[in-house]
Amino acid sequence: MMRWQARLEAGWADRYIPWIAAGVLSILYFTLAAARVRGLDAGGDLAAATQGMWLIGHGHSPDLTITDTHLLAQHLPIGMYPVAFLTRVLPAIPTLLALQALGLALGVVPLWAIARRIAGLRVGAAVAITVAYGASPTLNNLNLSDFHPGAVAVAPLIGAIYLALRGRWRSFALVSASAVIWSAELALVVAGIGVLILLQGERRVGIRTIVAGLAWTVIAVLVLEPRYGSTGFIAPGAFKAYGSNAFSIAGGMLVHPHKVVGDLLDEENIRLIVALLAPLLFLPVLAPRYLVPALPLQALYLVADVPVRGNGTNDFGLPLTVFAFVAAIFALARMGRRSIERVVVDRRVLIALAVCAIGFFCTEALNSPYQRPWKWGREDASDRARHDVADAIAPPVPVRGSATMLPLLAERRRVYPLGTTPDAAAAVRDGVDRVVVTAQDVSWSAEEWRAFASGMALQQFVLTYEAEGVKVYTRLSSV
């Protein structure tokens, strides 16, 4: 055992183990996300990103008809442009899923480096943190919830904090820039890293980082994003309870601090915080300094009128999740005993950490064993019918489809989401020539189906396809 321990503490472990772990996680994340898409469980977020890639790749402005917004109008994800040109030769949906899986999985590499090179932990502790990271319900669920550009920035954010702690400032600036190109809001996290740098004693660099992060946030939110349409910080109307624009919102928060505190301490927010910290045995609270970078953006997420979820089906818990792992590393270092070269942490703590992380994965993750993910991706007759319909509708044809059809129909200039109510007049708006409805997406009664069919007939649409719960209505003039 001592020989094996000595071998693991040698340099080869640091060179290979984190990259092997990242490769395994990448494959698992991508495989599960792709299987979920094959099972037609994807929704509007993936469809909107796919349409944006198709539009840019074909030389069009990425005005997304699925969301009725420009691709850059929300979060300013300028990193999507080079990806769009890549999808000219690669299929869009697998490319987006692979990119997201890599962004999440590669976070293991800088996290391992922080544990080993900065905190001085032994391999066992670094492995426990790696297991907790790979089993995180938040990261697993985010990977399975369509596509989120902010998820791609996870590895660059952890890499930025590692480089900042090492004092490698040029690399830190480049990696930080590679994070904020996926979501302008993450510039607030970079500004938070500047606060941490300031606390570490690097006054000049810390102030420059804070100024740069805040400046990019202001420019993106107040100057760049409004050029592309109706927008708002975090989400349109997210702070309407405080004001109608950036200045009135800031004034409203200053004048009514009690309301801000009340919104922060909302029961749903407390549930979110508990859900994010509990899989790590609440270790991050023992090293609160390393949670500082996440606090500005996370606090705004909690105050904003947006649907936060503790199980990670959106990216509103991402800042705290990312830096909770960094803080947990330094918490273990403080709890451990310094030996000649490394910090020795009680193995019982490490076992408890790994068991706790795996337990939360089994109960909270969408791909836990109880969800039988090995059965995902198997197509039934309904899935094949939906694929057949999507393949039969040529890209130039404007179409409106229900939720699960949108990713299949997204690669075209004009595709619109179908509402959940049987409103024929709304279904035929925007000059669409096809309307695709699937019984899996709507819960209409037999009477509502008949009323919708009658309304479509009045709008000069005829039923041209019906199989396995999939119906296609076609405009008479385009038949």
- List, in order, residues 6 or more apart from 69 with CB less than 8 Å away: 63, 228, 229, 230, 231
Q: List the domain boundaries for the chain.
A: 2-373, 381-478
Characterize the bridge pairing of strands 69-70 and 63-64.
antiparallel
Q: Residue 70's beta-bridge partner residues?
A: 63
pLDDT score at 311: 59
Q: Directed axis angle between helix 169-180 and helix 154-166, to 10°?
A: 160
Decide: helix, strand or coil at residue 474. strand
What is the per-residue pLDDT across 22-31, written as a single tens digit (0 to 9) for each?
A: 999 999 999 9
pLDDT score at 117: 92
Low-confidence ranges of the chain (pLDDT < 50): none
pLDDT score at 309: 59
pTM: 0.90
For residue 469, the surrounding DSSP H or E stretch is none
End-to-end CA distance of the chain: 75
What is the per-residue pLDDT across 293-340, written as a single tens digit (0 to 9) for each?
A: 999 999 888 888 777 655 556 778 889 999 999 999 999 999 988 876
- List, in order, residues 6 or more apart from 409 with CB less than 8 Å away: 47, 390, 393, 399, 401, 415, 436
Query: Domain 381-478, what architecture?
Result: 3-Layer(aba) Sandwich (3.40)
